[in-house]
């Protein structure tokens, strides 16, 4: 369980480059990539994912446990659990939004979980095998995807919650994501492996408007967690 710590949150906000997410032990190939990629800049993880990684023997001083700035983030995770979102996934979604960084997926099964929950709004496909340099570049581009729209996304989400127009906002987000996908022109193709995903936490929460409204009225800061995380699938990026 993650204990809210606003001071730690602020100290990590400009430090971590992403939020790790895996539901199983990553392969040696993925672990090797991870060690190379975090050599100079740390990465975050939720408590559930961190526990999985430790059980798998994946440890590093540069994999930091990300924390919530306030207790309502945990309440949002619980609300997502009520609609069937696994705690490991919901922690990553909330953390990626409040830290305004991409989700870094280390296994393929988690992608299927997002599909089953109908949380994937749009995805980027490619037939290319990406080098470490290209993966690093597109992780940075994914971060821009999150940051460039974050304030607009959370502001509109707040407005939709207050006026009862959540379904309309969910539809608009799909249009925004398709427009944003143009920034991946270097690798984007009509077919191939799906390597980058736009995730919408509002999709499964349709029908829970009153519960979300209660959280917003309790602490307006919770809208920070209602952005549109972008997930980067490292196993698919490294595939031949």
Please report, in tens digits, the pLDDT of each residue of the chain (240 residues total). 678 899 999 999 989 999 999 999 999 999 999 998 888 889 999 999 999 999 999 989 999 999 999 999 999 999 999 999 999 999 999 999 999 999 999 998 999 999 999 999 999 999 888 888 898 899 899 999 999 999 999 999 999 999 988 999 999 999 999 999 999 999 888 888 999 999 999 999 998 999 999 999 999 999 999 999 999 999 998 876
Q: Where are the alpha helices (DSSP H) in the chain?
A: 6-13, 28-37, 47-55, 72-82, 87-99, 109-116, 132-163, 166-180, 209-218, 234-238
Whether the CB-CB separation of 183 and 142 falls below 8 Å is answered with no
Closest by Cα among 172, 183, 200 to 145: 183
Which pLDDT value is given to residue 19? 97
Closest by Cα among 24, 140, 146, 37 to 93: 146
pTM strictly above 0.85: yes
Closest by Cα among 2, 120, 152 to 69: 2
Structure tokens at 214: 């209660």
């Amino acid at each position: 369980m993650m204990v809210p710590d606003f001071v730690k949150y602020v100290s990590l906000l400009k430090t971590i480059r992403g939020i790790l997410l895996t539901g199983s032990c990553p392969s040696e190939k993925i672990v090797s990539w991870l060690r190379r990629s975090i050599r100079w800049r740390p990465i975050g993880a939720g408590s559930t994912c961190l526990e999985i990684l430790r059980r798998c023997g994946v440890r590093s001083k540069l994999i930091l446990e990300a924390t919530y700035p306030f207790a309502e983030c945990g309440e949002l995770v619980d609300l997502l659990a009520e609609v069937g979102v696994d705690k490991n996934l919901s922690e990553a979604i909330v953390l990626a939004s409040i830290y305004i960084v991409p989700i870094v997926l280390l296994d393929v099964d988690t992608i299927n979980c997002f599909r089953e929950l109908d949380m994937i709004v749009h995805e980027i496909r490619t037939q290319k095998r990406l080098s470490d340099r290209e993966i690093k570049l597109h992780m940075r581009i994914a971060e821009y995807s999150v940051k460039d729209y974050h304030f607009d996304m959370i502001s509109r989400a707040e407005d939709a919650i207050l006026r009862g127009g959540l379904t309309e906002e969910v539809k608009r987000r799909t249009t925004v994501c398709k427009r944003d996908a143009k920034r991946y022109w270097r690798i984007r193709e009509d077919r191939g492996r799906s390597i980058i995903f736009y995730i919408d936490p509002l999709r499964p929460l349709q029908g829970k408007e009153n519960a979300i409204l209660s959280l917003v009225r309790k602490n307006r800061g919770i809208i920070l967690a209602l952005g549109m995380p972008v997930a980067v699938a490292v196993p698919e990026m490294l595939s031949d």
